[in-house]
Amino acid sequence: MKNNKPSVLFVSTYPPRKCGIATFTKDLSIAIDKKFYPKFKSKIVAMINLESEKPKYPNEVVLKINSTNTQDYINAAEKINKTKDIKLVNIQHEFGLYGGKYLNYLNAFLEKINKPVCITLHSIPPNPKDNIKSIIQYLAHKSVCLIVMIGEAVQILNKDYGISKKKLL
């Protein structure tokens, strides 16, 4: 994982996995690298399910997390914490992408990581049930910012989740 250039690290599914979030993350990392290389380079932590996936990943994938193994999340966070060139961690969040009930596996990662974290929310249910509301509020608390896809999401997060607009991009 060592590199002399500062890096942004994306935690997400990633191709060859066939998933919209994987494609989004690949496109995003390519766009960021085109814009900011050689100042910094994107790196990827690929979410996998080892029981069903054993893909060959490209070089930008520097770690893999078995989405059903809490210890993998902890180990990955510890490795990331020790990697000096990683300056920002961006988690691509979609419900069901990370293992455990009510986010508890991703929670293990977020409790261990000591790098700044931005979380991209791919869906924000309006009028959420309490468990969904507490998950999104927890993600807001553990991150330096939340990134949303549409302006309406800012209003929903502010009104339905009580999250300050200052925390949202």
Residue 25 maps to which CATH number?
3.40.50.11930
Overall number of domains in the chain: 1
Residue 31 lies in a domain: yes
**Predicted local distance difference test score (pLDDT) of residue 96:** 86
Tens-place pLDDT, residues 51-97: 666 778 999 999 999 999 999 999 999 999 999 999 999 999 998 88
Q: pLDDT (tens digit, 9 = 90+) per residue, 13-36?
A: 999 988 899 999 999 999 999 998
- Answer yes or no: is 1 within a domain: no
Q: N- to C-terminal Cα distance for the chain?
A: 28
Distance CA 155, CA 159 (A): 6
SS3 123: coil
In a domain, 100, yes or no: yes
Question: Which percentage of the chain shows pLDDT scores above 90?
Answer: 72
Q: Is residue 94 one of the residues assigned to a domain?
A: yes
Which is nearest to 44 in space by CA: 138, 53, 148, 30?
30
Tokens (6 digits) for 6: 């500062």
Using H for helix, E for strand and C for coil, what is the string for 72-84?
HHHHHHHHHHHCC
Domain of residue 12: give its range: 7-167
